[in-house]
Amino acid sequence: MQNKTEAAMGRAEQVLYKTYNRFPVMFDHGKGVYLYDAEGTEYLDFGAGIAVCALGYGDPEYTEAVKAQTEKLLHTSNLFYNQPVIDAGEKLLKASGMDRVFFTNSGTEAIEGALKIAKKYGFSRDGHGGHEIIAMKHSFHGRSLGALSVTGNQHYQEPFQPLLPGICFADFNDLDSVKALIHDNTCAVILETIQGEGGIYPATEEFLQGVRRLCDEHGLLLILDEIQCGMGRTGAMFAWQNYGVKPDVMTTAKALGNGVPIGAFLACGKAAEVLKPGDHGTTYGGNPLVCAAADKVLEIFEKRNLAAHAGQMGEYLWNTLENLAKRHACIRDHRGVGLIQGLEFSCPVGDIVKRALLEQHLVLISAEHQVIRFVPPLIVTEADIDHMAEKLEQVLPE
């Protein structure tokens, strides 16, 4: 006889589009770095809703701020001003050093806005359209057609061709490959500061600084995608701040709302003046509810110095995973920065991730087929990291 959870999951299979291969677990609530299913079973979470829940679960300050806004005002549209969008915007510009921000509903929409800035910039610069954007192989920027066009993975792209024209792909961390693609119609270069879905590959300092120089020399915009690696995860508020460079346009999302769906694209200098009234818009983006959430997230980040804590815990996680890798021949590489790290295995990791969840009640996520991605809430402690390593070791292949 089915229990209530099994019955609910069966109903889900009947009503929801089957675009996800979900694990047979249904979470009910969370506290700190732990999630709990409907039966009360406790799970240690090192996925954070795919790098979203930076504050963990049930943070009282955050919860109260969201609750208070739901009792005041949820939505008015962008035909009017609202206080939370101003407050969140000011804090985000202060944290990033950028000049203008546009709030979206997701990271994918933030990428769409960044691409429109690039296209409009090229049009304004040269007086015509038809400009090209350089993206990176093995990148991931989202599932909409525009974002998919700059995602350097044929597996994601092939069923939806033709995509946005004028996109060419360079090799990540190969400056010469970027330089070879630049010509008169190039308007921008887009890349993740740390490739996430592609397998946790940080940009090298030489590469990122070199791309910045190429953009300056050729009058191109540099767009940095910080949707997954930003918001304190690397020890700096945004990963690019570790490199001594600054983008013309950047995108953020995920941890910005700590679970409330919000994203943003930001620009500075000449890129901040490109979009004019009528060039872009959104019905829900920047509404009072999501911006009240983001405003509180940004306030908590600064007050608790979460980026610095993430940097410290990232060093501890690095040493812990290094020790794990030394003891297990199936682990062939270890990459990452701060609290975005990956272990690459000599075999597909799907079974390891599933066994960790079902047998050890440890939430992990993969990146590519052979990489386990570690993106825990930023409030994680050394004890949590030790506990994770103990659980993971129980399910590693001999």
Where in the sequence numbering do the catalytic residues fall?
Answer: 140, 225, 254
How many residues are recorded in the chain?
Answer: 398
Residue 189 backbone phi and psi in degrees, to 5: -125, 130
Residues whose CB is less than 8 angstroms from the CB of residue 19 and which lie 6 or more positions away in sequence, other chains included: none
User: 159-164 — which CB contacts under 8 Å span 24+ positions?
Assistant: 164/115
Distance of alpha carbon 381 from its chain centroid, rounded?
22
| 3 state SS of 238 | coil
Q: DSSP for 127-157?
A: SS---EEEEEBT----SSHHHHHT-B-HHHH
| 3 state SS of 394 | coil
Rounded CA-CA distance 317/23 in Å is 26
| 3 state SS of 72 | coil
Closest to 259 measured CA to CA, from 214, 309, 296, 212? 296
What angle separates helix 382-393 from helix 350-360, to the nearest 10 degrees? 110
Contact (Cβ atoms closer than 8 angstroms) between residue 265 and residue 92 = no
Exposure pattern of 258-293 as b/e (b: 16+ CB <10 Å)? bbbbbbbbbbbeebbebbeeeebebebbbbbbbbbb
Closest to 107 measured CA to CA, from 62, 50, 38, 58? 50
Consecutive H or E run containing 188: strand 186-192
Contact (Cβ atoms closer than 8 angstroms) between residue 32 and residue 379 = yes
